[in-house]
Structure 1
Amino acid sequence: MAESEEELKSLLMKVKEESEKVGLKLNIQKTKVLFATDDFFAPAENLLKSDNPRFKEYEYTEFGKWMDGWQTRRKRIPGHDWCVVQLGIQGAIRGFDMDTSYFTGDHAPRVSIQVANFEEQPEIPQREVRTATAATPEEFEAISELKSNDWSCLVPMTELKPGNPASSHNYFPVNSQQRWSHIRLNIFPGKYDGPSPGIRDWTAGNPKEPLDLVTIAYGGACVGFSNTHFGHPNNIIGVGTAKLMADGWETARRLDRPPILENDENGILLVPGCEWAVFRLAHPGVITQIEIDTKYFKCNSPESCKVDGCILTTQEEEDMVRQKWDLQCHKWKPLLLVTKLKPDERHVLDSLTPELQDVITPAKLTITPDGGMSRLRLKGFPSSICLLRPLEKPMMRFSVTAGFRENL
């Protein structure tokens, strides 16, 4: 397997592991199947699931074997099957994992992938999840407006391996930096396992307008945490506002709390423990404003929180991840001192670095003693340090020199 393919495999496996914990599907509330030629045995919407495919040995539907994927009828007419997926956010695609798990005698033998980018979402009639049906003439006519036959090709027609445990993952690296909003999956006549995180053109936009440097829409990600009992920290850097408590990060109740709680002279709880999460910024930069939203968390929000940042080289971050951030890091510097939080409320707080001096790459959110929140926004300005970074390894978000500090 080529080195780039090995890197892609490692990246996608990490994404899948986090997705299983979080239900992360790139703002899956907005990602949707716009069209599929056929959904006879199993609907194309199964392609949008983030968890590993399941197999129910003895379960059948009235149409045939129950399968946790997209499965069309056996082709008996000219042409091939295909579907169109609208991504929840525009983003660069780093690669694909064509997962044919459990399709051992009926997998798609060949596949190709085309992509397009629409600044404004095309108006396509809402599609319902269904089985035992094929696309209607009206649906074919509506999707033809997108001219998907002419879209750019990221993966040419390529053979797939059957869904045996040793061969079910088919990895295809992509080396394009362009952003895409729509995917057309062609099967001849399978299964596709999700697009990549969002990415932003940092040279565009108003340089005086602060940006959310941690949002997953631009490529931010959680790279470490202490507890994810009720929800993963990746949720709190998601796109848009939270829809319910499940869209946030919530930890279990700590068992080391004192039997009777007391405050210090500043009104902060005196407790021995805390929970934390570390986020890699989408782009190194200076944080000027911090937003913490505890919406929906009415009796289970943290009592207080603080935010710290530092600058790490790629190798230093990898070392910290391997050690689960259990290394003494003298580089952490405060962005937000210990601050009391109110339940079910959006807090807008100034960072301690308004003079635009300290660039950071990861940020660490610490909550005391435990609890949950719905969103974290770290707004500020990207540093020019990374506008000239090498692009030969597209999987790397940034690379910096040890000890580097840059004034914008």
Structure 2
Amino acid sequence: MANSPREGRLARRPDFTQLADMASEAVGGKSDSPSFKEHEYTEFGKWMDGWETRRKRTPGHDWCIIKLGIQGIIRGFDVDISYFMGDYAPRVSIQAANLEEDKQPEIPQRGIRIGVAATAEEFEAIAELKSSDWNYLVPMTELKPGKPASSHNYFPVNSQQRWSHVRLNIFPDGGIARLRVYGTGQKDWTATDPKEPFDLVTIAHGGACVGFSNAHFGHPNNVIGVGKARSVADGWEPARRRDRPPVLENDENGILLVLGCEWAVFRLAHPGVITQIEIDTTHFKGNSPDSCKLDGCILTTQEEEDMIKQKWELPGHKWKPLLPVTKLSANESHLFNSLTLELQDVITHTRLTISPDGGVSRLRLKGFPSSICLLRPCEKPKMRFFVKAGFRANL
């Protein structure tokens, strides 16, 4: 049985909002902000960009169930009531569950239906989920309006459990513009095929950006998002460096001769051996990097925390090259073989360096989890890779 809802407290401007929105349609990208059309109405009343229920005239309260596009660890929620100034939901609570895919009942698709409640058949199917008994991640809490166009209510979550579904309860009725569920993915690595390479850095599997030099136009977490980037807004783009020389020149390999660079460090979803690298500059047509390189290393949890405090001033001998300095093209996906095919090194963290600046839409690092790795299974005998004793317990 779930804990009963109680009054809770709000938090403001938390760091978890830099993580992926696990409930967005793009899963891994940022949800579009709600909009307002001042003079637009429907047969049911004012047009609003969000979920608005009818004024309740029956016992109970309203709720909805959302299947997360990225299943994993939830770090926080944003209940956005922008533009719902006169009819936002007074209170909310949020519950969650981790449901096995093969044990979920067949639930009819609602689609877009305005002005009607769920059917008896839909209620009957949903009842099998027993969602009223799910765990409370946010107890019943009063929502507070802010600015009409930007009215966010943030709720941090302290849970290490994997979640697949959330239930948003509003008390008793009203409107919500957006529900954002921020967190990181978590994959069941024991069920993976040891001969099948996986993207070890994607946020859907649990990868995360843990440090960067500059994120003026887009956070590096975007580049490990799910699916193809939708636009330049769905990538990582630092500001133009101010230390570029007045007149640019190339070296003998066609690489620009500049002193500065930008970088981002990612923790892999699972320690492993990287075999293939994809660096995608799609949508960045006049603002892509000139070149890039990729390095990897192995760090414990404590070492990572120390590096974050030191702004990733990691000794050079720790980093091992995965991809040497390589020329990039605009608006193109680049595929490379990793140097770990020769080095056969397990890594836990990787650093993408771009020079001198510019935008990257996606970074994919395909390889094998260290505990079940079979490197080139068709060409070589089975090879297994293991992390130092004590490391896995720190993950």
Same fold (TM over 0.5): yes
Q: Deviations over 1:18-67 (max 9, x none)?
A: 25xxxx42372346xxxxxxxxxxxxxxxx9588x99x9xx999999999
Compared CA separation, residues 27 and 80, structure 1 to 2 (3 A): closer
Contact 2:138 2:155 in 1 (8 A): no
Match in the other structure for 1:135: 117
For normalisation by structure 2, the TM-score amounts to 0.73
Partner-residue secondary structure (3-state), 2:205: coil
1:382 counterpart = 2:364: no
Match in the other structure for 2:202: 215
Instruction: Measure the CA separation in 1 of the matches of 2:45 and 2:111.
Output: 26
In the TM superposition, what are the counterparts of 1:319-358 in structure 2 within 5 Å?
319-355=306-342, 357-358=344-345
Contact 2:24 2:180 in 1 (8 A): no
Q: CA deviation at 1:308?
A: 0.5
Q: Deviations over 1:137-160 (max 9, x none)?
A: 4xx644653446524612289442
Relative contact order (C-alpha < 8 Å, sep 6+): which is higher? 2
Equivalent in 269, 272, 293 of residue 282 of structure 1: 269
Match in the other structure for 1:187: 170
Aligned length: 352
Equivalent in 189, 206, 211 of residue 224 of structure 1: 211
Q: Deviations over 1:296-346 (max 9, x none)?
A: 222322111100011111111112212322454531111110011122222
Match in the other structure for 2:243: 256
1:150 counterpart = 2:130: yes
Match in the other structure for 2:302: 315
Deviates more, 1:336-345 or 1:150-159: 150-159
Instruction: Measure the CA separation in 2 of the matches of 1:296 and 1:30.
Output: 17
Q: Deviations over 1:358-382 (max 9, x none)?
A: 1211100001111112111111111
Instruction: Measure the CA separation in 2 of the matches of 1:321 and 1:162.
Output: 34
In the TM superposition, what are the counterparts of 1:4-403 in structure 2 within 5 Å?
13-16=14-17, 18=18, 24-26=20-22, 28-30=24-26, 72=53, 75-89=56-70, 91-94=71-74, 96-97=76-77, 108-109=90-91, 111=93, 113-115=95-97, 116-118=99-101, 124-127=109-112, 133=115, 135=117, 137=119, 141-142=121-122, 144-147=124-127, 149-151=129-131, 153-155=134-136, 158-161=139-142, 163=144, 171-177=156-162, 179-180=163-164, 182-189=165-172, 193-355=180-342, 357-384=344-371, 385=386, 399=394
Q: CA deviation at 1:278?
A: 0.8
Identity %: 52
Compared CA separation, residues 205 and 127, structure 1 to 2 (3 A): same
Contact 1:104 1:163 in 2 (8 A): no
Contact 1:148 1:184 in 2 (8 A): no
Q: CA deviation at 1:383?
A: 1.6
Match in the other structure for 1:43: none
Deviates more, 1:194-203 or 1:360-369: 194-203
Contact 1:203 1:387 in 2 (8 A): no
Compared CA separation, residues 14 and 69, structure 1 to 2 (3 A): farther
Paired residue type of 2:24: I
Instruction: Measure the CA separation in 2 of the matches of 1:25 and 1:143.
Output: 27
Partner-residue secondary structure (3-state), 1:280: strand
Structure 1 stretches lacking a partner, 5+ long:
1-8, 32-47, 391-396, 401-408
Partner-residue secondary structure (3-state), 1:217: coil
Contact 1:27 1:88 in 2 (8 A): yes
Compared CA separation, residues 289 and 27, structure 1 to 2 (3 A): farther
Instruction: Measure the CA separation in 2 of the matches of 1:336 and 1:296.
Output: 23
Structure 2 stretches lacking a partner, 5+ long:
1-9, 147-152, 372-385
Match in the other structure for 1:6: none
Partner-residue secondary structure (3-state), 2:183: coil
Contact 1:202 1:387 in 2 (8 A): no
Paired residue type of 1:399: N
Paired residue type of 1:93: I
CA RMSD in angstroms comes to 4.1
For normalisation by structure 1, the TM-score amounts to 0.71
Instruction: Measure the CA separation in 1 of the matches of 2:134 and 2:389.
Output: 28
Partner-residue secondary structure (3-state), 2:351: strand
Compared CA separation, residues 88 and 220, structure 1 to 2 (3 A): same
Instruction: Measure the CA separation in 1 of the matches of 2:92 and 2:235.
Output: 39
Q: CA deviation at 1:245?
A: 2.4
Instruction: Measure the CA separation in 2 of the matches of 1:164 and 1:319.
Output: 39
Partner-residue secondary structure (3-state), 2:63: strand
